[in-house]
Structure formats: structure tokens, C-alpha cells
Amino acid sequence: MRRNLPAAALPHRMTIQGMRDRLLAAFLAERPAMLRRLTRRTGSAASAEDILQDLWMRVSGAAGAGRLDGVDNPVAYLNRAANNLAIDQDRAEQARRLSPDEIDTLTTVESEAPGPERAAAARQELEALKAALADLPARRRAIFLEARIEERPYREIAARWGVTTRTVDVEIRKALDHCADRLGRRRPGR
């Protein structure tokens, strides 16, 4: 028969709740400094908040499962984990960005209109594009137009709409996918 030993009988191993409490205390104490560092790194307070929320969910889950028994310095562990999550976010954003060729392909309306037939086709395509844009949700349409027509940087758009640059990128991709589908074009890599 196996007995459960009290936590005091385990001098070198911290209880799961004890480790979680230590990590929570370290997280709460370090949160403002981590938020400042992550905001500088990502250029967005919203992205930094997302990273910190993800950090706490992961760390809390790992501590609750007893996988963080060996953490001797919770502050260093949390800072390292936050940095790793920021790196992961950067990599994910770079993978989602459209290449200049993709952007050109999707936003180019053929302008070589030597005759009235080609001009009529271009007008029809422009009308189809206007209709496709009109079908988009208002925020997605506005973000798309700010990025592609007004050529505003993603960070500026994100700040204006109170979202992350990642959300701006997702909205633009969805708008491009929608327009490509409506115009009967295939996006490169899709």
C-alpha cells in the first residue's frame, strides 16, 4: 500500500500548488516589466498582452501538470519563456506575410487596354472588384483599403483599430482571398 507523503516530507520537490504559487507571484511581480519589454520588441501593446496571456496559460498548465518542478528561478524562467513566445510570434508573422509578387498579382488590374473590348473587360473587372469589396465586413474592408490604397503601415493600422498587427495581416489576407475568389483568380500558394 502506497501512502501519500505530506509536502514537508519532500524537501527537494516543491508541491504542484507551491510551484504554481511561486510562478504566479513571480509573474505578477514581473508582468509590468515584461509587458514593457515585449511592447518594445513587438511594437504593439496588444501583441505584448497576447504573448503574456499565452505565457501564463502555458506556464500555469505546465505547473499544474507538475512539469516545472526543476525551475529554480521563476523570474528568469518566465522572462525566457516570454522571449521565446515573442520569437515564435515573429516567425509566424513572417510566414504569413505576402510576398511583393503575391501582392502585385492580386492587386493588379490589367491596364493594357488597346481596344474598346479590353477597356470594357477592365471596367467589368473593376466593377466586380468594387462589388467584392462592398461584400466585405466594414472593418476588413477599411483595413484592406488603408493598407493597399492608402499604403499605411500595419502598425499604424493596428493602433488605429485597436488590434494587433497580426489581426491586420489576417484581415488583409481574408480580404484578398475573398476578392480573388469573387474575381475567379487563384492566389499564389493557395
How high is the pLDDT of residue 111?
Answer: 54
- Series of mean pLDDT values for 10-residue runs along the chain (190 residues): 45 62 87 94 90 90 74 88 90 75 72 68 84 90 91 92 93 89 71
Q: Which domains does the chain have, with CATH numbers?
A: 10-96 (1.10.1740), 100-182 (1.10.10.10)
User: What DSSP line would sit under the chain, residue for residue?
Assistant: ---PPPGGG-TTS--HHHHHHHHHHHHHHHHHHHHHHHHHHHS-HHHHHHHHHHHHHHHHHHHHTTTTTT-S-HHHHHHHHHHHHHHHHHHHHHHHSPPHHHHHHHH-------SHHHHHHHHHHHHHHHHHHHHS-HHHHHHHHHHHTS---HHHHHHHHTS-HHHHHHHHHHHHHHHHHHTT-PPTT-
Overall pTM surpassing 0.85 (yes/no): no
